[in-house]
Amino acid sequence: MFVFTDGVPREKRGIKPLSNGFKPNAFLSATSPYYIQIMTPMFFLVLLTLIIAAVFAAAAHILPKRKSDREKSSPYECGFDPLKSARLPFSFRFFLVAILFLLFDLEIALLFPLPAATIYSFPTQLIPISTVFMLILALGLVFEWIKGGLEWAE
């Protein structure tokens, strides 16, 4: 029979064993000194984190010197004047650069799991696959470079 430090048995406190035989431990009670001893540093850590975040947010709001003018307060629309008609012809270069960025960004994102994959597979399988993938990426970059897709000014 388990007895708490004040001498009152568990059964008289109304704590019953669970159906799987697990008996709740003494420090799981919120009034237990063990619980308080464990949770007090965690409470202060969370409180300190919130205070630091609030100080940084306040400093970021108060400290910068803001000099607003007409140019800064107007919305930026990719080099287009936002006050003119929205039916202006769109430069194909913007579209091409966006597609190239998405293409190469996706290929790079597919490379991220490779270091973790070395844990689960043999390097003799992984290295040739990643080399072929990098070669395709490099050939695509060279192709775009030769075709002039990366040249902004003509």
**Residue 68 carries which side chain, given as an amino acid letter?**
S
Closest CA to 1 of 15, 27, 35, 20: 15
For 84, the token pair is 């003119």
Of the candidates 70, 68, 67, 88, the residue with the CA atom closest to the CA atom of residue 79: 88
For residue 51, the number of C-alpha atoms closer than 13 Å in the C-beta half-sphere is 6
What per-residue confidence (pLDDT) applies to 50?
97
CA distance 22 to 43: 28
Bridge partner residues of 77 (DSSP): 80
Q: Where are the alpha helices (DSSP H) in 1-152?
A: 10-13, 33-62, 70-73, 92-111, 114-120, 123-147
- Whether 82 contacts 75, CB under 8 Å: yes
**pTM recorded for the entire structure:** 0.39
In tens digits, what is the pLDDT along the chain, a chain of 154 residues? 454 556 666 566 665 555 555 555 544 566 666 777 778 888 999 999 999 999 999 999 998 887 777 777 776 666 666 666 666 676 777 778 888 888 888 888 888 888 878 777 777 888 888 888 889 888 988 988 888 877 776 5
